[in-house]
Structure 1
Amino acid sequence: MWQSAIDVLFQGRNAIRLLEGLWVTIRIALISIALSILLGMLFGFLMKSERRLVRFLCKIYLEFIRIMPQLVLLFLVYFGLARTLQLNLSGESASILVFTLWGTAEMGDLFRGALESIPKHQYESGMALGFTNRQLYVQVILPQTIRRLLPQAMNLVTRMIKTTSLVVLIGVVEVVKVGQQIIEATRLTTPGTALVVYSVIFFLYFMICYPITRIAKRLEQSVEGGS
């Protein structure tokens, strides 16, 4: 039975379809992560704004995103907002929008925390040396902030990649959806296909996320060793 289930993976284009589905997963994650990094840094600066109203609005946004489950946000954007406003929004586009909103909030809070962890004397020393505000941030503050941010940011990247599995519920044909299609097509003739296919999907996610996790761990040790 197990041999037959394994053989299913290599029938027709099944293996290639799984890899194509994996690429959809990676594409959604990469675009969302890239946008989240750029917007998250901006959001992190806004969270430290001297204007109380700006800080308040940032806090509301952050808490809303953290309280709302990603799955509910996906449904809200894809089935609710897009249909209500009659927007021609694909499942993949809705997924990128939701993961970017989530990633921006989380990355912004991480960036804010990294900024606040820089000792006050670093600012004072830079100003004493005659640096302008821009030079102070570009040459002194931001390099240290990014170094402290990287380990936590890498962990967030891993979480975002794993969470992309939710997009199957709004019809995006990614690796989990392809796996379900293969299982459904062979469930009567080869009952053991489900275990084999989901094991392969687990392995594919593991191969992507494990190296990122190891890099994050080494970066964390590097930051602790250099502090």
Structure 2
Amino acid sequence: MQDLGISVLFQGRNFERLLEGLWITIGISLISVAISIILGIILGMIMSVKNPVIKVITRVYLEFVRIMPQLVLLFLVYFGATKAFGIQLSGKVAAIIVFSMWGTAEMGDLVRGALSSIPKHQYESGEAIGLTGLQIYFYIIIPQTIRRLVPLAINLVTRMIKTTSLIALIGVVEVVKVGQQIIEASRLTVPSAALWIYGVIFFLYFIVCYPISLLSAKLEKAWKN
């Protein structure tokens, strides 16, 4: 019977190494998302300020990060900044910086949109019952904003996890890089290893991301009612 290549998954620690690589991917994603949420909330509130100078600065940052491909940003930070300024950065740290920059821009725009979607009469109603500006934000605006933001923030997690596959190109040994190493090591003995290794990587991403997508959709549906 012809060896289809699936045996390569069970040679040595290959499958365990893939799981370890997946954990690195998830770890980088979660750290980047946590930073993005904190900085994104601050950026979103700044973007809501009615100041033309602030609006221009934040808009330039937002458009720069959105237009520039994440891969170019990775190369710019990991290869460019380290050489130009003599900074010693590991691939993981560079990845967290880049994905935090991207996530902050995305989250900031989500926060801005959520804040601007709150009807004006909500503010007026708070003022009518004698609430201060801070109390209006704390008791009325923030709870409604959170309801709008949570499903979108959860969705950002799945996007972040999928996008981290790019960090294999700067040498970070995450799940895709581990897969490439296994395929290269088995190139002569198991020519069809790529099909099985990348197939397993596909299912690992699916197993991680699909429940998160379901949670996001469920929350969005529940909170619309």
Using the size of structure 1 for normalisation, the TM-score is 0.96
The equivalent residue for 1:157 is 157
Contact (CA 8 Å) 1:44, 1:112: kept in 2 or not? yes
Instruction: Using the TM superposition, give the Cα deviation of residue 45 of structure 1 relative to its aligned residue in structure 2, in angstroms.
Output: 0.4
Q: Which residue of 2 aligns with 1:112?
A: 112
- SS of the residue aligned with 1:189? coil
Name the structure 2 match of 1:63.
Answer: 63
8 Å CA contact 2:20, 2:175 repeated in 1: yes
- SS at 2:5's partner residue? helix
Q: Would you say 1:203 and 2:220 are equivalent positions? A: no
Alpha-carbon distance in structure 1 between the residues aligned to 2:217 and 2:178: 32
Aligned equivalent of 1:45: 45
- The aligned counterpart of 1:180 is 180
User: Is the contact made by 1:82 and 1:88 (CA closer than 8 Å) also made in structure 2?
Assistant: yes
Is this contact kept in 2: 1:2–1:192, CA < 8 A? no
Deviates more, 1:125-134 or 1:170-179: 125-134
Can you give the 5+ residue segments of structure 1 that lack an aligned partner in the other structure? none
Identity across the alignment (%): 63
The letter of the residue matching 2:223 is V
Q: Secondary structure at the match of 1:219?
A: helix
TM-score (norm: length of structure 2): 0.96
Residue 99 of structure 1 is matched in structure 2 by: 99
SS in 1 for 2:88: coil
Alignment of 1:33 with 2:38, yes or no, is no
Give, in whole Å, the separation in 2 of the partners of 1:49 and 1:95.
30
Q: What is the rounded CA distance, in whole Å, between the counterparts of 2:183 and 2:142 in structure 1?
A: 49
Would you say the 8 A contact 2:77–2:98 is kept in 1? yes
Aligned-pair CA distance for 1:2: 6.9
Which is worse superposed, 120-129 or 89-98?
A: 120-129
Please give the per-residue CA displacement for 1:25-70, whole angstroms capped at 9, x wherever unaligned.
0111000000000000000001011322111100000010111000
CA deviations 1:163-186 (Å, max 9, x no partner) are 000000000000000000000000
Paired position in structure 2 for 1:192: 192
Q: Are 2:221 and 1:221 equivalent residues in the alignment?
A: yes
Aligned residue type for 2:188? L
Aligned residues: 225
* Cα distance in 2 between the residues matched to 1:128 and 1:95: 48
In 2: Cα distance, 1:97 partner to 1:156 partner:
16
Deviation >3 Å, runs of 4+: 1-4
Counterpart-to-counterpart distance in 2, 1:56 and 1:82: 29
Q: Contact 1:18/1:179 (CA < 8 Å) preserved in 2?
A: yes
Gaps of 5+ in 2: none
- The root-mean-square deviation of aligned C-alpha atoms, in Å, is 1.2
**How many angstroms apart in 1 are the aligned matches of 2:2 and 2:46?**
55
Alpha-carbon shift at residue 224 of structure 1 (Å): 2.7
